[in-house]
């Protein structure tokens, strides 16, 4: 469930644009007003605001936001204002750059979006970067990581609920054999993980648990420091229990000595319209602290206000 809170009556895009212009005008910026508007509009509404802004003022709202705001707050607002597919394309592109490289972000986008959303991300990637997403991912990764990530971002999984139980049993056995042999990047293991539907994989992992006595992610903990194994475990979590994966990302980001703002922003912004409510529940259960309180304790100023607004705090107007 989403946390995004919309006002009972939505102002027209031109009214919103006018207010945003007011927020930018004069000496100093009215950050509260920006939050009040943008943090309480859904994807379609933000898209219309950007279009209207461009038509009315001949300028790109993102550019104006970029010049008016700064640091973590700026990053959160810009990321939020982008359309989801465009935003994911941007996140993956950043994740393939040397200084901001992250196999995690690539895997996360590939595994937690629906098949059609992932396609839209790939289309947005073409439009923005004049290259294919898999091309950049393949070019910037290597070894086992590449072997896993390229098919993950190229997948177009079937999304029906149908489950083939015979197949689930066979493939649970395959997983078990490969894991016993420590063949973690085995072709078959990666093939199953990157092509089967999420429902089918869920059945396979359930069967694994029943048949072999441990959750598969537990059996994949043989070498806790192995980065590839970590990514493999997270992949399985993202495909089957994304809220648990995200809870952990948030926990690590917040508990870190010096908050990891990049990760915190990414999760709040990309999930606010999807399942942030569910992630919050998971967070509360695991940390005995409500997520909004944890975020408030670790952030400040406009950045804090923005994140909390996306979590449903404050009045939408």
Does residue 235 belong to the site contacting a second copy (CB under 8 A)? no
Does residue 124 belong to the site contacting a second copy (CB under 8 A)? no
Among candidate residues 135, 143, 311, 121, the one with its CA nearest the CA of residue 226: 143
**Any idea what DSSP says for residue 311?**
T
Q: Which of 162, 181, 225, 315 binds a second copy (CB under 8 A)?
A: 162
Question: Is the Cβ of residue 29 or residue 195 nearer to a second copy in the bound state?
Answer: 195
Among candidate residues 51, 53, 23, the one with its CA nearest the CA of residue 37: 23
Question: Is the Cβ of residue 194 or residue 280 nearer to a second copy in the bound state?
Answer: 194
Does residue 185 belong to the site contacting a second copy (CB under 8 A)? no
* Part in contact with a second copy (CB under 8 A); list of ranges 16-24, 135-143, 259-267, 306-314: 135-143
What's the closest the beta carbon of residue 124 comes to a second copy, in angstroms? 11
Question: Which two structure tokens, joined as six digits, stand for 282?
Answer: 């998971």
Q: Which of 87, 140, 157, 305 binds a second copy (CB under 8 A)?
A: 157
CA atoms within 13 A on the CB side of 312: 15
Alpha helices, DSSP H, located in 61-158: 61-68, 71-81, 84-95, 103-112, 115-129, 133-140, 143-154
Does residue 174 belong to the site contacting a second copy (CB under 8 A)? no
Does residue 50 belong to the site contacting a second copy (CB under 8 A)? no
Question: Is the Cβ of residue 98 or residue 130 nearer to a second copy in the bound state?
Answer: 130
Q: End-to-end distance of the chain based on CA atoms, in angstroms? A: 21
Q: Which of 191, 221, 256, 286 binds a second copy (CB under 8 A)?
A: 191
Q: Which long-range contacts (CB under 8 A, 24 or more apart) does 8-12 make?
A: 10/41, 10/45
Question: Is the Cβ of residue 84 or residue 312 nearer to a second copy in the bound state?
Answer: 84
* Part in contact with a second copy (CB under 8 A); list of ranges 38-46, 90-98, 117-125, 266-274: 117-125
Residue 185 phi, psi (nearest 5)? -115, 25
| Residue 272: count of CB within 10 angstroms of its CB | 23
Q: Which of 62, 79, 119, 215 binds a second copy (CB under 8 A)?
A: 119
* Part in contact with a second copy (CB under 8 A); list of ranges 38-46, 65-73, 114-122, 253-261: 114-122
DSSP per position, 22-72: HHHSSSS--HHHHHHHHTT--HHHHHHHHHHHHHHHSS-HHHHHHHH--HH
Binding stretches for a second copy (CB under 8 A): 115, 119, 122-123, 126, 130-135, 138-139, 146-147, 150-151, 154-160, 162, 187, 191, 194-197
């Amino acid at each position: 469930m989403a946390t995004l809170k919309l006002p009972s009556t939505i102002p027209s895009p031109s009214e919103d644009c006018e207010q945003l212009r007011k927020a930018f005008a004069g000496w100093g910026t009215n950050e509260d007003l920006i939050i009040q508007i943008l943090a309480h509009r859904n994807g379609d509404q933000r898209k219309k605001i950007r279009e209207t802004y461009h038509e009315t003022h001949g300028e790109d709202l993102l550019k104006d936001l970029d010049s008016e705001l700064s640091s973590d707050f700026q990053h959160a607002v810009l990321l939020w204002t982008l359309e989801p597919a465009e935003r994911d394309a941007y996140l993956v592109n950043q994740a393939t750059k040397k200084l901001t490289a992250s196999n995690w972000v690539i895997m996360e986008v590939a595994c937690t979006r629906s098949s059609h959303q992932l396609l839209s991300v790939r289309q947005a990637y073409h439009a923005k970067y004049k290259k294919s997403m898999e091309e950049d991912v393949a070019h910037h990764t290597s070894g086992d990581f590449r072997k896993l990530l390229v098919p993950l971002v190229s997948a177009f999984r079937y999304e029906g609920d149908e489950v083939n139980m015979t197949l689930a049993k066979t493939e649970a056995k395959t997983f078990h054999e490969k894991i016993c042999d420590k063949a973690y990047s085995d072709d078959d293991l990666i093939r199953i993980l990157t092509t089967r539907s999420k429902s089918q994989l869920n059945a396979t992992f359930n069967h694994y648990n029943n048949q072999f006595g441990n959750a598969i992610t537990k059996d994949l903990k043989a070498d806790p420091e192995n980065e590839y194994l970590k990514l493999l475990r997270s992949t399985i979590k993202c495909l089957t229990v994304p809220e648990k994966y995200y809870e952990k990302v948030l926990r690590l980001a917040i508990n870190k000595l010096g908050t990891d703002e990049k990760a915190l922003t990414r999760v709040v912004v990309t999930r606010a319209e999807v399942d942030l409510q569910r992630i919050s529940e998971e967070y509360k259960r695991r940390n005995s602290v409500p997520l909004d309180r944890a975020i408030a304790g670790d952030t400040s100023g406009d950045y804090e206000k923005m994140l909390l607004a996306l979590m449903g705090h404050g009045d939408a107007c």
